[in-house]
Chains A and B, each alone.
Chain A
Amino acid sequence: MKNNLVSLLAVLFLSTATFAQEARLSPGGGQSRPHHNDLVGTWDARVSVRNCATGMEILSFLSTGNFNEGGTFSGITSGSSPTARTSERGVWEHLNGRNYRFRFKAYLYDPSGVATSYQVVTHNIRLSRDREDYTSEGISEVFSMAGAPIGTGCSTSVATRMTID
């Protein structure tokens, strides 16, 4: 009798654990996620463009980026006029632990609206332990529409996760 009860309890426990794993809160609900997806979400960042040689800040501006499930990225920024530069589209990946990398592209235009070049930004991210903040650093490369390198730069960012009540 005791063995039957123990067996039944074990079966019910396993069933409960299965349901608990499969039943997810709605997207954005804040449940615990797999480690590699800890970056998923929308982040408000302050970006600092820096002198690559000295690290000195040249200028800073605000940006907001979406790290989407599946590895795509999109972003908007206050750092450029919307008529001079498109918003950003790219990818991100989990490297290991709390380390990630993203890369995005934006197209650049002259004052008459003709596309002149594109910018590719690649950053390494370090996520905080509580997953609510990150810091990043990396490079920016600008290419002509034919793909010829035009210029490079460096930048860092500090970001906070956007939340909703």
Chain B
Amino acid sequence: MMRNYYETVLGILILVVMAGPTLGQDANRGRRLEGSWNVVVTPRVCATGAPITTFQATYNYDKGGALSAVSAGTGSGGRGREQHGIWRHLSANNFRYRIRAYLFDAVGVATGYQILTHDLVMQDRDNYTSGGSSETFSLDGVPTASGCSTTIASREPEV
């Protein structure tokens, strides 16, 4: 009986050890998004997918899961040009990120904030596409608007 017990535990441990390299590989794959990316953002009509406008942005996906970005987008009402947020690896080539931008009117008074959540797919080490939604809130946290957008990105070359 004891021998059966030991054999069972041994079998379980062998399976766990064999799974170890796989876990390590997935962790390395999750870090492939790290770096600085040149992004083209296309806000779209959620119902039809029709593009509304496009603008450029640069996103930094930092080690540890932080994201910071700057955008050339203007939009109406003075869209925030700087964003901060987080990113995570979901599986294989799939990632998700969420960013926040503060919005200002024409005279520089803050009017609200926007939260953007996108699902991202890496086509290869140097290219990805993403799509998702945005939600706009007043400074008191009251929802005021929502939208959709997609992006196409290419990695900033190493110096």
**Chain A residues near B (Cβ < 8 Å):** 2, 5, 8-9, 12-13, 15-16, 19-20, 22-29, 37, 40-42, 44, 61-62, 64-70, 74-84, 87, 162-165
Q: Is the CB of A40 within 8 A of B82?
A: no
Chain A residues in 8 Å Cβ range of B45: none
Would A74 and B84 be within 8 Å (CB), given that A28-B65, A82-B108 are in contact? yes
Q: Is B54 an interface residue (CB 8 A)?
A: no
Q: Is the CB of A66 within 8 A of B66?
A: yes
Would A26 and B17 be within 8 Å (CB), given that A5-B10, A44-B100 are in contact? no
CB distance from A129 to the nearest CB of B (A): 21
Our pick among B63, B84, B101 for the contact of A69 (Cβ within 8 Å) is: B63
Chain A residues in 8 Å Cβ range of B117: 164
Residue of A nearest to B7 (CB): A5
Q: Is the CB of A164 within 8 A of B27?
A: no
Q: Is the CB of B88 within 8 A of A27?
A: yes
Q: Is the CB of A19 within 8 A of B10?
A: no
Binds A, one of B18-26, B36-44, B123-131, B150-158: B18-26
List 12 contacting pairs A-B, 8 Å CB cutoff, sorted by A: A19-B23, A26-B27, A26-B31, A26-B89, A28-B86, A28-B87, A28-B89, A29-B65, A69-B63, A74-B68, A81-B109, A84-B108
Would A9 and B10 be within 8 Å (CB), given that A42-B66, A70-B63, A81-B109 are in contact? yes
Q: Is the CB of A65 within 8 A of B84?
A: yes
Q: Is the CB of B16 within 8 A of A16?
A: yes
Would A162 and B100 be within 8 Å (CB), given that A12-B10, A42-B85 are in contact? yes
Q: In the docked arrangement, what's the CA distance between A8 and B14, Å?
A: 11
Q: Is B142 an interface residue (CB 8 A)?
A: no
Q: In the docked arrangement, what's the CA distance between A90 and B38, Å?
A: 24
Our pick among A12, A22, A37, A75 for the contact of B17 (Cβ within 8 Å) is: A12
Chain B residues in 8 Å Cβ range of A12: 10, 13-14, 17
Tell me the B66-117 residues at the A interface (CB within 8 Å): 66-68, 80-90, 95-98, 100-102, 104, 107-110, 113, 117
Q: Is B30 an interface residue (CB 8 A)?
A: yes
CB distance from A158 to the nearest CB of B (A): 14
Q: Is the CB of B81 within 8 A of A82?
A: yes
CB distance from B19 to the nearest CB of A (A): 8
**Closest 4 A-B residue pairs measured CB to CB?**
A81-B108, A26-B30, A28-B65, A26-B89
CB distance from B152 to the nearest CB of A (A): 22
Chain A residues in 8 Å Cβ range of B26: 23, 26
Residue of B nearest to A19 (CB): B20
Q: Is B135 an interface residue (CB 8 A)?
A: no
Q: Is the CB of B96 within 8 A of A164?
A: yes
Q: Is the CB of B102 within 8 A of A78?
A: yes
Chain B residues in 8 Å Cβ range of A5: 6, 10
Q: Is the CB of B98 within 8 A of A27?
A: no
Chain A residues in 8 Å Cβ range of B30: 25-27, 29
Q: Is the CB of A162 within 8 A of B86?
A: yes
Q: Is the CB of A9 within 8 A of B104?
A: no
